[in-house]
Amino acid sequence: MTTEPLSPSAAPVEAPIKSQKKGVQLEWVRRASVVVGVALLFIVFSVLTSSFYQPANLLDILLQSSINAMIAVGMTLVVMTRGIDLSVGSVVGLSSMIAASLLQGNLFLGIAAGMAVGVVCGLVNGLLIAKLKLPDFIVTLGMLSIYRGAALIYTDGKPIYGIDPMFRAIFAGEVAGIPTPVILALTIALLAFLLVRYTALGEQIIAVGGNEEAARLSGINIDRVKICVYAISGLRAIH
């Protein structure tokens, strides 16, 4: 009695399944490594410095890192599309100078103007990259110097005084013992998470970062997505 060989369609499919499971496991390991790293740092510094784990010190660390965290949220969206924005620091400087000068007269006008300047700077970066197909590294590196120079020209190299006391009370105060900048950073991070996880733009950002050509063939407007993320990055650069 002879047995017939298995047809190609009846070949075992365990290999793709194992590969998929291995990929999921590696993804969980990658995510857990961040948490483990932070925990190890916390333990090491707590051992080296007895006051490190005190609530006052932890709040001070969060306060000092809150500004960078807000900037990093917008930068994260840019990086998710496989881009880079080197001009974000200069955008912070320019938008902050314009906002501070207008805060002397009207609180809401100063805040709105600073946010508008940040968005415009981001749009300029996005348009140059998306429409003119210029390298993001070169564009944002060049705009870094332009925005920094614009801030210097606007202020004439002089400090700005007379900021509305209400601004300090709101954005440099505390809520239930937690510094306001920390609350703002956490709120912005939550909004970015909701944007990426539950909106069409978030799905498009992930698709463009995963495979730009496949996203284009799927009907996603690549230019619009890139312009949006750079505009959001500019908006996050107002402090």
Residue tagged 């348009």 (tokens): 127
Q: Residue 111 above 90 pLDDT?
A: no
Q: How far apart are CA 97 and CA 87, in angstroms?
A: 16
How high is the pLDDT of residue 152?
A: 92
Regarding predicted confidence, which is higher, 5 or 141? 141
Q: Residue 6 above 60 pLDDT?
A: no
Side-chain half-sphere exposure of 100, counting CA atoms within 13 A: 17
| CA-CA-CA-CA torsion sign (77, 78, 80, 81) | positive
Q: Residue 110 above 80 pLDDT?
A: yes
Of 114, 115, 139, 144, which is closest to residue 127 (Cα–Cα)?
139
Q: Residue 4 above 80 pLDDT?
A: no
List CB contacts of 181: < 8 A, sequence separation 6 or more: 63, 66, 67, 70, 171, 172
How high is the pLDDT of residue 84?
A: 93
Q: Residues 37-75: pLDDT tens digits?
A: 888 888 888 888 877 778 888 888 888 888 888 889 989
Q: Residues 197-226: pLDDT tens digits?
A: 999 999 999 999 998 999 999 999 999 999
Extents of the domains making up the chain: 15-53, 55-235
Q: Residue 15 above 90 pLDDT?
A: no
Please, what is the average pLDDT of the chain?
84
pLDDT band at 158 (very low <50, low <70, confident <90, very high): confident
Helix (H, G, I), strand (E, B) or coil at 43: helix
Q: Residue 102 above 80 pLDDT?
A: yes
